[in-house]
Amino acid sequence: MPTGVHLRDVRKQLFDAAWRVLLRDGPNALTSRAVTTEADVAKGVLHRHFADFDDFLAELVRDRIGRLTDQAALLQAAAGMRTVAENLLDALVEVFDPVSVPLMSLLFFRDELRSRLRRRGEGLPLLTEAREMLAAYLSAERAQGRIAADADVDSLSLSLIGGAHLLFAGRRPNALPDNDELKKLVNTTIADAIQRRLL
């Protein structure tokens, strides 16, 4: 292990290593030792840049939430294009990508990590931001008249995130749910809002 090597972007190097461990070995294998070994740095490097391992994990989740912010902007720009169902389907596949699903497992089981990230009165970090992203998108579609004017976008987005999480969680690493299953979830969830818009 190198000990005196100058690291130009040690945080990125450690985050990339953590993603690789999550993808290859799952959330139970994500330890500070696994991360530093994967990053090929000395064991103390992580603790020089983060207060403790939960601090590192919190920053890892915040990095993922930052990616959701970028995705939210793209989804918002897609309002009015293609079908609402197609846009939602693509968004859910992005939200529940092979790295985010095991990261969500970590959030479920690490109380200290959750408490560092949770906003007052809010739900599970990462899933909360994903729900907000879908609600904002559905609001934009409602404003364009593509779903019913009285559609409850908060309930729709909560149903979509909860249902999709059940479909994605518990599968083999990197395995996606059946596309028809996901399409059925999306179409069933938004069907009433689409039909009432046509009345």
Q: Output the pLDDT for position 195.
A: 76
Residue 26 is part of a domain; what is its CATH number?
A: 1.10.10.60
In a domain, 73, yes or no: yes
Residue 4 has pLDDT above 50, yes or no: no
Shared domain for 70 and 1, answered yes or no, is: no
Q: Output the pLDDT for position 2.
A: 47
Cβ contacts of 179-187, under 8 Å, gap ≥ 24: 182/89, 182/92, 182/93, 183/85, 183/89, 185/160, 186/85, 186/88, 186/89, 186/92, 186/160, 187/85
Shared domain for 109 and 32, answered yes or no, is: no
Instruction: Tell me if 78 sits within 8 A of 142, measured CB to CB.
Output: no
Q: What does the pLDDT look like over 51-80, one tens digit per residue? A: 889 899 999 988 888 888 889 999 999 999
Residue 118 has pLDDT above 80, yes or no: no
Provide mean pLDDT across the span 175-191.
87
Q: What does the pLDDT look like over 133-173, one tens digit per residue? A: 999 999 999 999 999 999 999 999 999 999 999 888 866 65
| DSSP three-state, residue 118 | coil
Q: Output the pLDDT for position 172.
A: 64
The position carrying tokens 């404003």 is 143
The residue segments making up the domain with residue 37 are 1-49
In a domain, 54, yes or no: no
In a domain, 55, yes or no: no
Residue 126 is part of a domain; what is its CATH number?
A: 1.10.357
Shared domain for 71 and 42, answered yes or no, is: no
Q: E strands, the chain, where? A: none
Residue 7 has pLDDT above 60, yes or no: no
Instruction: Tell me if 117 sits within 8 A of 58, measured CB to CB.
Output: yes
| DSSP three-state, residue 41 | coil
Where is pLDDT greater, at 119 or 99? Answer: 99
Q: Which H or E run includes 89?
A: helix 84-95
Per-residue pLDDT band for 176 (boundaries 50, 70, 90) equals: low
Provide mean pLDDT across the span 118-122.
63
Shared domain for 30 and 69, answered yes or no, is: no
Number of domains in the chain: 2
In a domain, 108, yes or no: yes
Shared domain for 40 and 83, answered yes or no, is: no
In a domain, 176, yes or no: yes
